[in-house]
A and B are shown apart, each in its own frame.
Chain A
Amino acid sequence: MEERELDLAGRLMADMDPRLLQFLQTKINSFVKWDLVRFFHDNPHTTDTADNIARYAGRSVETICTELADLAREGVLEENRLGDMTVYSLASDHQIRELLEQFVKASDDRQFRVKAIYHIIRGTRR
């Protein structure tokens, strides 16, 4: 019974643009990542170290280090060496930027946010 309810909820929550759902499930699968992509969306020309990004985002560097590396691996961010520093910037890939733009726009809608939160929580429980 409980499983059937979950499935129903899951189906309801999956009622979103399939591209955004995939983006959410595969790339933005934590609240910290959500914050980080929002930060890079708002500051698309930022290139900086994890330390400084943590400061801008109001998080600890320990919290965001792995998440930044994950986002870089998933192609949302670019990770580069600059002198003796590792720096992150938003990927220049046009499709990623467009998807991010859609995601951030969609996040302004409460219904979408509820669904996105559901998927993130479900993802972290797996």
Chain B
Amino acid sequence: MERVKTGIPGLDEMLGGGFLHQTANLVEGAPGTGKTTLGMQFIYHGIVACGEPGLILTFEEFPQQYYRDAASFGWDFRRMEREGKLRVVMTSPEVSRADLEQVGGRIERLVREMGVKRILVDSLSHFERISEEPVLLRGIVYGFINSLKREGLTSVLTRESVALLGEAEGEDDVLAFMVDSYVLLRYVEIESAVRKALLVLKMRGSNHDKGIRQLEVTSRGIEVRAPFEGREGIMSGSPRRMVDSFVQAFVRR
């Protein structure tokens, strides 16, 4: 099966080659874990390596922020926009939703005119502004995700997690059921240093690596490295060495 490669070393291997075509892929993490960078790298790789124009829908950051952040990795987003391979659109969830519901809306026109294949939506968390009613919100987000698929787009949808370390309490995981894949980024504390972990929690219609890998943001973008060896409880944010757990469980009794 042909895959939509993210171009992120390590991640494509975890995904069995990349995302599946025309799917919605959720990337969730706390601020600074690398969600937006992952999404930008997915868009950048599509443009330079696969000839697939990209669209970034931002609900919070100004486009200048993306140009600046991309430039720090050597990705010239301004030039790509001038060449018609990329469009960074600052808008709001309510407007983009209404636009996609329309026949011949602005996003639909962009997709047709530019031949957009990949989209980064940064971030889905802002949809919560539209309604506080969970059932209504679920319907709105479901419709939005489906409209992206209808346009033939493979999407990376970011979502903010409030917990800096470990699992966030009380998070509504309804979204996890709607998307085709679910990638979690987490901070973990190991020997008094904060590191980042990546886990592919779900991938519909495909096998995937279930390991918890180390994630590094380098000068070239994100790199997903080897799994955390000899530790457990990584996603709790405070992993223990497995040998310590063994001692605690058996030796000290």
Name the A residues within 8 Å of B94 (CB-CB): 49, 85
Are A82 and B90 in contact (CB-based, < 8 A)?
no
When the two chains form their complex, are residues B98 and A45 in contact, meaning their CB atoms are under 8 A apart?
Answer: no
Alpha-carbon gap, A70 to B227, bound state (A): 58
Q: Which residues in B have their C-beta under 8 angstroms from that of A48?
A: 90-92, 95
- B95 near A49: Cβ-Cβ < 8 Å: yes
Number of chain A residues close to chain B: CB under 8 A: 13
The answer, yes or no, to whether B131 is at the interface (CB within 8 Å) is no
Q: A82-B99, A85-B98, A87-B95 are in contact. Are A45 and B87 (CB under 8 A)?
A: yes
Contact of B88 with A by CB under 8 A: yes
Which A positions have Cβ atoms within 8 angstroms of B?
Answer: 42-43, 45-49, 52, 56, 82-83, 85, 87
B63 engages A47 (CB within 8 Å): no
Indicate the size class of the contact surface on chain B.
10 to 19
Q: Is B167 an interface residue (CB 8 A)?
A: no
Nearest Cβ distance between residue A55 and chain B, in whole angstroms? Answer: 9
Tell whether B62 is near chain A: CB-to-CB under 8 Å: yes
17 A–B contacts from the bound complex (CB under 8 Å): A43-B62, A45-B63, A45-B89, A46-B90, A47-B89, A47-B95, A49-B92, A49-B94, A52-B91, A52-B92, A82-B95, A82-B99, A82-B102, A83-B101, A83-B102, A85-B98, A87-B95
Which B54-78 residues have C-beta < 8 A from chain A?
62-64
Alpha-carbon distance A38/B20, docked complex (angstroms): 40
Q: A47-B95, A49-B94 are in contact. Are A42 and B62 (CB under 8 A)?
A: yes
Q: CB-CB < 8 A to A52: which residues of B? A: 91-92, 95
Q: B106 within 8 Å of A by Cβ?
A: yes
